[in-house]
Structure 1
Amino acid sequence: MIAFPNLSPDIFSFELFGMTIALRWYAMAYIVGLLAGWWIVLRAVRAEHLWRPGSAPLTPEQVERLLTWVIFGVILGGRLGYVLFYAPGQYLRDPLGALRVWEGGMSFHGGFLGVVAAGLLFARKEGVAPLSLGDLFALAVTPGLFLGRLSNFVNAELWGRPTDLPWGVVFPGEAAQDCPGIVTLCARHPSQLYEALLEGLILGALIFWLVWRRGWLRFPGRVMGVFIAGYGIARFAVEFLRQPDAQFVSPGNPLGLALHWGGWGLTMGQILCLPMIAAGLWFILRARASGQAA
């Protein structure tokens, strides 16, 4: 097993008027991810060879405006998704708690839906082709996913199930060490790093190759389909090794399955991934069948 490294969730912190002001790695991941995505989209719309002549869906000026929409979509969608999908009972008892975003609790699936909604509203307002805009989102998002999962590891959160594999990590904290049947140190799968590898590096490398080498931006919806299905498959697989949220775990359901029968079932993350996989495959096949260039 591997001891958890001595990492602080704060990049720096200081006291000001009796309050602690801190910049956390998780917040920095959002900031850098959004800026990296903005730069990637800006570069793509300026690369004329990626599109059929005159068909880039956005101008550089529109990309600047799009960033604001995406920021609101990520934050509002991510928080609302966590409240609705993972802790509805908690926030029904304490509705104002949903506003305390500094306490943590963000959902990728909620953030994804928030960005979709923001993108559709932006596309309608600006007269942009929605499928091509979705392709640009897919191209831009994987660096942020990679950084976000690394930040989850630094924060020692969202760890995996107990394991006796040699790369199991001994995460700190009473909850991480609460492993039934284990009386010594409990090592867990570093599922945050699995997701960083699958959702960030591998899926991102595939999408960049398809865009910059295979010209897939000429087929509206195809790159978006690859991202949606690819993320869904990667997250579905990692969920088998990831510790579910505590609210789903009970004495009769130690695996924290949100839907279960006869000892088998699915976690909430897997349930939310199934429609993503189906939708992604549909967009890929639709774009291939139409054969229309962007």
Structure 2
Amino acid sequence: MLVYPNIDPILLSLGPLHIRWYGLAYLAGVLLPFLVFKRDYRQRLNMSLDDIFNYISYLIIGIIIGGRIGYVLFYDFIEFLRAPYLIIAIWKGGMSYHGGAIGSIVSTILFAKRYHLNKLMLLDLLAIGSTIGIFLGRIANFINGELFGRVTTSPLGMVFPMGGPLPRHPSQLYESFAEGLLLFLILWVVRKYWAPRPGILGSLYLILYGSFRFILEFFREPDAHLGFIIHVFSLGQLLCIVEIFIGLYLCWLLQKQPTQH
């Protein structure tokens, strides 16, 4: 059994101001992709620095709104029906990856339309860049001791402060590796050596992320207030199935069409 490191979720305190690892991971997850792929944004898409900063603003708004709406509708719908105002109660916590993904896609399409950019190329960069945010975000979940895995006898098990006395899978680290690092490397290799037409990389992201997440959900403790939705499948897995089929459909659709310029 491994020992949970018990890292303080607060990185730095300046009086009443607390800088948390989670918030830092969110910020870095949005900004780092633009540093890593700066050349693509500047040269391939001919975006100025002002355009990039505007796009970052679009993304942040899309992620927050989409993530919150997704959480309320997917994971807390009954409570939403009782108190609809909760959809704007961001301070109460609760963000959904799938909602945030939808929000970031919608905001990217709106931005591309307004600035007359190739939306498929922009979505491809969003796809590979988002793996950086997922990698950092899951590590932040691990530091917070949240979203831990199911009880296990595996030597990889850890006792989490909020997970009871039994060792559990560090599923946050599994997801950080598979959905973050591994997915980034796969998309990077495909992009570098295959150079697929615009849109394929984003579609491949949907297929692979959905597949990795579906598998790893078997190691992750389902949400306490939801449990399993159908037999042994969690809500996250059902959403991933939808995500996979959307990715497959988009791949098929793009292969049928001539390359967009």
Superposed pair shares fold, TM > 0.5? yes
Q: Which amino acid aligns with 1:44?
A: D
Q: Secondary structure at the match of 2:167?
A: coil
Pair 1:239-2:220 in alignment = no
User: Any conservation in 2 of the 1:224–1:283 contact (CA below 8 Å)?
Assistant: no
User: Any conservation in 2 of the 1:152–1:158 contact (CA below 8 Å)?
Assistant: yes
Q: Secondary structure at the match of 1:171?
A: coil
Instruction: Note closer, same or farther for the CA distance 1:95–1:12 as it changes in structure 2 (3 Å cut).
Output: farther
Q: Secondary structure at the match of 2:178?
A: helix
User: Any conservation in 1 of the 2:6–2:143 contact (CA below 8 Å)?
Assistant: no
Distance 2:3 2:18 in 1: 26
Say which of 253, 267, 271 aligns to 2:238.
271
Corresponding residue for residue 251 of structure 2? 284
User: Any conservation in 1 of the 2:10–2:20 contact (CA below 8 Å)?
Assistant: yes
Corresponding residue for residue 188 of structure 1? 168
| Counterparts of residues 1-294 of structure 1 (less than 5 Å) | 1-15=1-15, 20-46=16-42, 56-61=44-49, 62-173=51-162, 176-177=163-164, 185-216=165-196, 219-248=197-226, 256-258=227-229, 260=230, 264-290=231-257, 292=259, 294=261
Q: Give structure 2 stretches of 5+ with no counterpart.
A: none
TM-score w.r.t. length of structure 2:
0.92
TM-score w.r.t. length of structure 1:
0.82
Distance 1:8 1:104 in 2: 19
Q: CA deviation at 1:137?
A: 0.8
Q: Secondary structure at the match of 1:2?
A: coil
Distance 2:14 2:89 in 1: 21
Segment drifting more, 97-106 vs 32-41 = 97-106
Distance 1:150 1:144 in 2: 10
Deviations 1:221-277 (A, max 9, x none): 1100111111100111111111111111xxxxxxx112x2xxx24211011111210
Q: Secondary structure at the match of 1:170?
A: coil
Deviations 1:105-153 (A, max 9, x none): 1110010011111112112212222222211111211111100000000
Distance 1:275 1:285 in 2: 15
Q: Secondary structure at the match of 2:221?
A: coil
Q: Secondary structure at the match of 1:246?
A: coil
CA RMSD of aligned residues (A): 1.9
Q: Give structure 1 stretches of 5+ with no counterpart.
A: 48-55, 178-184, 249-255
Distance 1:34 1:211 in 2: 21
Q: Which amino acid aligns with 1:2?
A: L
Distance 1:160 1:35 in 2: 29
The structure with the largest helix share of the pair is: 2
Who wins on radius of gyration, i.e. which is larger? 1
Instruction: Note closer, same or farther for the CA distance 1:100–1:21 as it changes in structure 2 (3 Å cut).
Output: farther
How many residues are treated as equivalent by the alignment? 260
Q: Which amino acid aligns with 1:35?
A: L
